[in-house]
Structure 1
Amino acid sequence: MRIGELARRAGVSTRALRYYEEQGLLASERTASDQRVYAEAAVERVRLIQQLFTAGLPSRTIVRLMPSIETGDASPESFELLAAERDRITTAMAELAAARDALDRMVAIANHPTPEHCPALREPAWAPYESAEV
C-alpha cells in the first residue's frame, strides 16, 4: 500500500510515517518512480509505534525495544529500558509538579500582593536617584 493509505488506515500523518522510517522504526519498498510502498503488516506496526510514543518512549528507545517485540521474547535489557524510561518520566513529572507549585505561588502573590513581594507597595515606593558628583 502507498504512504497515504497507510497513514489513513493507521490514523497518522504521512509526515509521521516518514519520520518513523528516518528513525529506523518502519521500512518501505520503493517503486520505480521512487514512491514508498508498505506491507499490510505496517498498519499494525504503526499503531504499536503510536502506543509506545503515547507511553512516553522516545524513538531511540523504541528502536532498541523492537527486536524483542518482534520476536515476542522480552530480554532483561528490554525490562531495564522500560524501567529507566519510567524513572525518567517520574522525574520529569516531579519537576513539572515543582514548576506548577512555584507558578501557583506566583499567581497567589499576583492576586494578593504584599509589600514583602511587591516593591510598589513599600513605603517609600522608590528612593530618589542621587547622582555621584565627579
Structure 2
Amino acid sequence: MRIGELSARTGASRRSLRYYEEQGLLVSSRSPSGQRHYEEEHVQRVRLVQAFLAAGVSSGTLVEMVPCMSEPSEGRARQALEIMGRERARLSEDIDGLVAARDALDHLIEDNHAYLTRSADGEV
C-alpha cells in the first residue's frame, strides 16, 4: 500500500509517517519512481507507535525499542526489558497521578452537588 492508504487506515498524517521513517520507527520499500510502499503489518506498527507516543514515550526511546519489537535476540531482549521496565514504571506513575486527580475531582463534584441540593431545599 502507498503512504496515503497507510495514512487513511491509521489516522497518522503523511508527515508523521515520513517522520517515523526518518527516526527508524518504520521502514518502507521504494518503487522505481521513489514512492513508498508499505505492507499490511505496517498498519499495526504505526498504531503501536501512535499508542506509545500518546502515552508519552519519546521517539528516542521508541527507536531503542524498535529492534526488540521486530528482531529479538538475547542482547536486544535484555535491552528491551530494561527500557520497557523503565517506561512501564513511568506510565504507572502517570496513571496514579491521573487517578488521584480524578478522585479529587469526584469529591469536588459531590460537594457541589450536595451544596446545590441543600440550596434548592433552602438549607443554605
Q: Could you say which TM-score interval applies, normalised by the shorter chain?
A: 0.5 to 0.7
Q: 1:13 aligns with which of 11, 14, 23?
A: 11
SS at match of 1:75: helix
Q: Deviations over 1:18-64 (max 9, x none)?
A: 342243312344765xx6312x54x3134134235436472332211
Letter in 1 for 2:114: H
Tell me the C-alpha RMSD between the 2 structures: 3.1
State the 4+ residue runs in structure 1 displaced beyond 6 angstroms: none
Question: Matched residues in 2 for 1:24 and 1:52: separation?
Answer: 11
Normalised by the length of structure 1, the TM-score is 0.62
Any conservation in 2 of the 1:3–1:14 contact (CA below 8 Å)? no
> Percent sequence identity over matched residues?
32
- Which residue number corresponds to residue 44 of structure 1? 41
Quick one: distance in 2 between partners of 1:105 and 1:25? 42
* Residue range with higher mean Cα deviation, 87-96 or 66-75: 66-75
For the 8 Å contact 1:49–1:62, the answer to whether it is kept is no
1:4 corresponds to: 4
Matched-pair contact (CA < 8 Å) for 1:31–1:37: no
Q: Provide closer, same or farther for how the CA distance between residues 57 and 96 of structure 1 changes in structure 2, counting only shifts above 3 A.
A: closer
Tell me the residue number matched to 1:95: 97
Q: Give the partner amino acid of 2:23.
A: Q
Aligned residues: 110
Structure with a larger share of its residues in helix: 2
SS of alignment partner, residue 72 of structure 1: coil
2:12, 2:102 → 1: CA distance? 35
Structure 2 unaligned spans of 5+: 117-122
Task: Give the TM-score normalised by the residue count of structure 2.
Answer: 0.66
Partner of 1:105: 107
Q: Aligned runs of 1:15-30 on 2, under 5 Å?
A: 15=13, 16-28=16-28, 29=30
Which runs of no fewer than 5 residues in structure 1 stay unpaired? 115-120, 123-134
